[in-house]
Chains A and B, each alone.
Chain A
Amino acid sequence: MPQRMARVSWRLLLLGVLFCAAGLILTARLAQLQIVSHGHYAVEAEDEHMGMEKVFPPRGAILDRNGFPLALTLDTYDIYISRKVWQDEKLAASGAEALSSVLGKRPDEIVAALGPDTEGDALIAGSVGYDAGRKIIEMGVPGVRATATIVRFHPEGDLASALQGFVGRDQTGLAGLEADLQDELGGAAGTLYFERDSMGNPIPFGYRQLSKSKPASDVRLTIDRYIQEATEQALDAAIEKNGAAGGTIIVMEPKTGAILAMASRPSFKLSQLDLADESKMDLYRNRAVTDLYEPGSVMKVVTMSAAVDLGLVTPNTTYEDTGMAYVGGYAIENWDYSVNGTTTMTQLLQKSLNTGAVWVSQQIGPERFYEYVKRFGFGAPTDVGLGGEAAGTVRTSDDPDWYPSDLATNSFGQGISVTPLQMITAVAAIANGGELMRPYIVQDVVDSDGSHETQPEAVRRVISESTSRTLTAMMNDVVEGVPSHGARVQGYHVAGKTGTSFISVPGGYAPDRVITSCVGFAPVSDPRMIVLVKIDEPQGERLGGTVAAPVFAELAPKILSYLGVPPDAPALVQHAG
């Protein structure tokens, strides 16, 4: 009997130990799940039960200087279908039937759009109108999810496409001002956390928390839609007329640096945007600030400004033009191979003589010449606020690869690369009394705190007011002193300079490819606008005076009239009180 009791006690003890061990193991496992790995499993559970959605504030509008919208935001929905749910053919058929009337698609088209995959969501229709989207939500078709989104709408069509740029599906600006002003136009998206059902849809009246988003701002540009339209029409017509490869026109207020119009070709159209086509990537940049060119004879006004400002020459100073200038072992000729004998500085600009520019640059000397080149803003970005702006290429006498012949060629605008925006900003300094203004394109940003206006900013004084007046008069003589100059504008006194430059290619210049340009401003007495016209690789006529100047002459009176600038006296018919 005692032996039996001992055996029983041993078995009970073993059982007890086993139970205790099992209990300890279970407790340890529970502790591991609930305490040690609590965070991990809590996150997993939350991921399972909670959904998250970015909620974008309505994107701000892009407006022209008068407040007319160039880009607006419309509320839309993206419609997704859960492939897993629609594996049920009967359910898919009834769902497609229900959606077809709202989406305007055939049921079989909707089902086919799911593709061969069986997992994930398929975007069945993007940017569906707000009312249609709400209707789909209210229909409650199983497996169908409508996500609120926005779409950009451009009331002026393709106007200023390259300048405005575009946004991606995530409402982030991808190009142009949409990208450059992403913070202002986009605000900051909020995040909506919500309890979701097994289908991923929000549970009605379930947990819902929306983190606050930063409201977007409206951005008013300095661009004027009328001037922009006229500019684009003039550019397109000039390119077509001359069989050109492209071109750029910029219109600016010389006194403030405000850009009134900026157009460049080739470019894209907002209405035909196809981001999937990689061959069109090259069209998305704003060539007015990204592309460099050698300005040719327009640069002579910069050279002349430096010489006049230094007191080295006056409009009546003469030099002897032998038709040839020898610099650093190179012979430089006039563009028309002319020999002009005794020539004044004004005649130099009127005839656009390369030999004269070389002579003037030699009077200035390389150090002072490049100092002026930099003071005019070449070789550094203008900081206009547009993405991808190039600094330009200026080789100075301090650079190891500089040669004396560079000074000569730079004086008439070859061997130096600038952007169209740099060029017009530099000439604007001559027009406005000698101050280099920082060009700007955003007039003001309007947010909940009010309007934040951009103030015109003078970067530096480049030349004296006296030099500015002298150069303006000389440039006026260039246009009005040459019979049938292409840049003449009936009724207004205009100052201008044309240029033609060869395009540099590896190993030299392409003899049959030129860039023609013209910069002009008016009225001379009180310049209200300055226009730069650049036409790339025209066929047939190949001079700035015959290709680019007529474009200026066509555009300038439209702009002046629109700006309410009365013509100079001879053209004025009557004063009315």
Chain B
Amino acid sequence: MSTLDRLISRPLPRPFPHITGVRPVLLGAFLVVASLGLLQVAQTSSATTTGYNLQRLENERSATQAEVHQLEAEVAVLTSIDRIEREARGRLGMVPAGNTMTLEVLKQPPEQKLVPLRFLFESKAPEASTSSWWQKLLNLLPFF
């Protein structure tokens, strides 16, 4: 009976004995460290991927720029005086003028469009005011 009493008086075992005391702290620390480690790996990986993408985009930009320059050169060759003369003589069968007669046409010639577009020096129109209604409202205030 006394044995039974002793058994009864003993506290009941807790359902998760392994997380009591120092262990939970250690486990928590481990999880934090592991998370930090994973975060570091993820960040490094992300930075590397971003760096790779950046470099790829830079290469693409350079390639596009080079292509633009190449196309500008091709356009320039196609509009060069030599090429125009070749086409005029060869394809259109034109010859230099002999007797020159002058006919004055009292009309403005059509506007000449030059290519490439980069070389068109069109004057920029002044930008229209883009103030919103609330900015205008604020401007009415004397202290603003």
B104 CB contact (under 8 Å) in A450, A557, A566: A566
B118 sits at the interface (CB 8 A): yes
A63 sits at the interface (CB 8 A): yes
B133 sits at the interface (CB 8 A): no
Interface segment, one of B4-12, B15-23, B27-35, B69-77: B69-77
B62 sits at the interface (CB 8 A): yes
B101 sits at the interface (CB 8 A): yes
In the complex the two chains form, is B69's CB within 8 Å of A72's CB? yes
A156 sits at the interface (CB 8 A): yes
**Contacts A153-B73, A205-B51 known; A66 to B114 CB distance under 8 Å?**
yes
Interface 0/1 of A209-222, CB less than 8 Å to B: 00000000010100
A1 sits at the interface (CB 8 A): no
In the complex the two chains form, is A576's CB within 8 Å of B106's CB? yes
A276 sits at the interface (CB 8 A): no
A577 sits at the interface (CB 8 A): yes
**Contacts A450-B124, A451-B121 known; A68 to B79 CB distance under 8 Å?**
yes
B120 sits at the interface (CB 8 A): yes
- Point out the residues of chain A lying under 8 angstroms from B72, CB to CB: 61, 69, 72
Interface 0/1 of B33-46, CB less than 8 Å to A: 00000000000000
Q: How far is the CB of B75 from chain A (nearest CB, A)?
A: 9
Q: How far is the CB of A447 from chain B (nearest CB, A)?
A: 12
Q: How far is the CB of B85 from chain A (nearest CB, A)?
A: 9
Chain A: number of interface residues, binned into ranges: 35 or more
CB nearest to A226 among chain B residues? B81
**Contacts A61-B119, A155-B76, A226-B81 known; A75 to B102 CB distance under 8 Å?**
no
A130 CB contact (under 8 Å) in B52, B63, B82: B63
A67 sits at the interface (CB 8 A): yes
B94-129, CB < 8 A from A? 100-107, 112, 114, 116, 118-121, 123-124
CB nearest to B107 among chain A residues? A577
The docked-state distance in angstroms from the alpha carbon of A573 to that of B100 is 10
In the complex the two chains form, is B102's CB within 8 Å of A567's CB? yes
CB nearest to B82 among chain A residues? A157
Interface 0/1 of A155-168, CB less than 8 Å to B: 11101000000000
CB nearest to B80 among chain A residues? A155
**Contacts A156-B82, A218-B119, A566-B104 known; A75 to B114 CB distance under 8 Å?**
no
In the complex the two chains form, is B81's CB within 8 Å of A577's CB? no
- Point out the residues of chain B lying under 8 angstroms from A446, CB to CB: 121
Q: Is the interface of A mostly helix, strand, loop or mixed?
A: mixed
Q: How far is the CB of B83 from chain A (nearest CB, A)?
A: 9
In the complex the two chains form, is B105's CB within 8 Å of A67's CB? no
A444 sits at the interface (CB 8 A): yes
- Point out the residues of chain A lying under 8 angstroms from B51, CB to CB: 205
In the complex the two chains form, is B103's CB within 8 Å of A58's CB? no
Q: How far is the CB of B108 from chain A (nearest CB, A)?
A: 11
The docked-state distance in angstroms from the alpha carbon of A66 to that of B48 is 48
- Point out the residues of chain A lying under 8 angstroms from B106, CB to CB: 575-577
- Point out the residues of chain B lying under 8 angstroms from A127, CB to CB: none
**Contacts A68-B114, A572-B102 known; A75 to B69 CB distance under 8 Å?**
yes
B102 CB contact (under 8 Å) in A69, A73, A155, A491: A491
A460 sits at the interface (CB 8 A): no
**Contacts A58-B65, A156-B80 known; A572 to B104 CB distance under 8 Å?**
yes
The docked-state distance in angstroms from the alpha carbon of A298 to that of B103 is 35
In the complex the two chains form, is A75's CB within 8 Å of B66's CB? yes
- Point out the residues of chain B lying under 8 angstroms from A229, CB to CB: 81
- Point out the residues of chain A lying under 8 angstroms from B79, CB to CB: 68, 155
Q: How far is the CB of A113 from chain B (nearest CB, A)?
A: 25
A113-171, CB < 8 A from B? 130, 134, 148, 153, 155-157, 159
A255 sits at the interface (CB 8 A): no
The docked-state distance in angstroms from the alpha carbon of A561 to that of B104 is 11
B73 CB contact (under 8 Å) in A63, A72, A450: A72
Interface 0/1 of A352-379, CB less than 8 Å to B: 0000000000000000000000000000
Q: How far is the CB of A137 from chain B (nearest CB, A)?
A: 9
A160-209, CB < 8 A from B? 204-205
In the complex the two chains form, is B104's CB within 8 Å of A72's CB? no
The winner among A61, A68, A69, A451 for most chain B CB atoms within 10 A is: A69
A316 sits at the interface (CB 8 A): no
In the complex the two chains form, is B52's CB within 8 Å of A575's CB? no
In the complex the two chains form, is B77's CB within 8 Å of A75's CB? no
**Contacts A75-B66, A446-B121 known; A576 to B76 CB distance under 8 Å?**
no
A24 sits at the interface (CB 8 A): no
- Point out the residues of chain B lying under 8 angstroms from A159, CB to CB: 81
In the complex the two chains form, is A575's CB within 8 Å of B63's CB? no
CB nearest to A70 among chain B residues? B76
Q: How far is the CB of A69 from chain B (nearest CB, A)?
A: 4
- Point out the residues of chain B lying under 8 angstroms from A153, CB to CB: 73, 76
In the complex the two chains form, is B100's CB within 8 Å of A557's CB? yes
The winner among A68, A204, A567 for most chain B CB atoms within 10 A is: A68
B101 CB contact (under 8 Å) in A130, A225, A573, A575: A573
- Point out the residues of chain B lying under 8 angstroms from A66, CB to CB: 112, 114
The docked-state distance in angstroms from the alpha carbon of A567 to that of B103 is 10
The docked-state distance in angstroms from the alpha carbon of A134 to that of B121 is 33
A74 sits at the interface (CB 8 A): yes
CB nearest to B120 among chain A residues? A67
- Point out the residues of chain A lying under 8 angstroms from B116, CB to CB: 69
A520-577, CB < 8 A from B? 557, 561, 566-567, 571-577
- Point out the residues of chain A lying under 8 angstroms from B107, CB to CB: 577
Q: How far is the CB of A213 from chain B (nearest CB, A)?
A: 14
The winner among B79, B81, B123 for most chain A CB atoms within 10 A is: B81
In the complex the two chains form, is A218's CB within 8 Å of B63's CB? no
Interface 0/1 of A50-70, CB less than 8 Å to B: 000000001001010011110
Q: Could you list 8 examples of A-B contacts with CB < 8 Å?
A: A68-B76, A68-B114, A74-B70, A75-B66, A156-B80, A157-B80, A561-B102, A573-B101
Given contacts A61-B72, A130-B67, A205-B52, 12 further A-B contacts (CB under 8 A): A61-B118, A66-B114, A75-B62, A148-B62, A155-B77, A155-B80, A159-B81, A205-B51, A205-B55, A566-B104, A571-B102, A577-B106
Chain A interface residues toward B at CB < 8 A: 58, 61, 63, 66-69, 72-75, 130, 134, 148, 153, 155-157, 159, 204-205, 218, 220, 225-226, 229, 444, 446, 450-451, 490-491, 557, 561, 566-567, 571-577
Q: Which 10 A/B pairs are nearest by Cβ-Cβ distance?
A: A155-B76, A75-B66, A130-B66, A67-B119, A67-B114, A69-B76, A205-B51, A573-B101, A155-B80, A566-B104
